[in-house]
Structure 1
Amino acid sequence: MLQLSPNPTFHFELLPVLGSARYFGADIAEILKVAQDIISGDFKSWSTKFLSLAEWALSTIDYNKTYNKDTLRDIYFRASSYFRCADFFLHGNPDDARINSL
């Protein structure tokens, strides 16, 4: 089986977001790229990479363009999945200010 991360916890948490690609909650190529870039066992790296990915997904929207409702829904759903991933490991420190911002 392909290991998405050398860290078993990160590998396990990458599986659900990867599985959500079937329902437009993620893009497989984006997740595989992020999985490659995350430093194994580094929660800050996990959060930073997923936050960057979420912001990038939102940046693909051109607000001067007319979109099909389904297209916008898919972009927002994908971005929200990435924001949720960015937030996931932050709850080990309830005082972390990023929790509320995400």
Structure 2
Amino acid sequence: MAEKTTEGKSFDLRLTRASEAVRKQYQSILTAEQAQRARENNGKTVTIDITEKEQFLDRATAIVIYGKADPQKMAQDWESASRDGRPPIGGAQDN
């Protein structure tokens, strides 16, 4: 197995120091992303780079601190609902 980079070691340390709730949320986000990419890749496993993992950890931290409002999902919902030039009404989503 190859040596971890400084970024990889730094990320591992950051993940280790995170609270149990953040680690649990991070694992949930990471697993969901891996499953989605595997489906898109015809069932083959995919590698997620350290930069994306750091973003997932940041999202997990925000979710634990601020609640279940996922900023990325909110942005996607806003874009899909306001496609025709109007803001979403009552959290409307594109189904």
TM-score (norm 1): 0.32
Q: Radius of gyration: which is bigger?
A: 2
TM-score (norm 2): 0.33
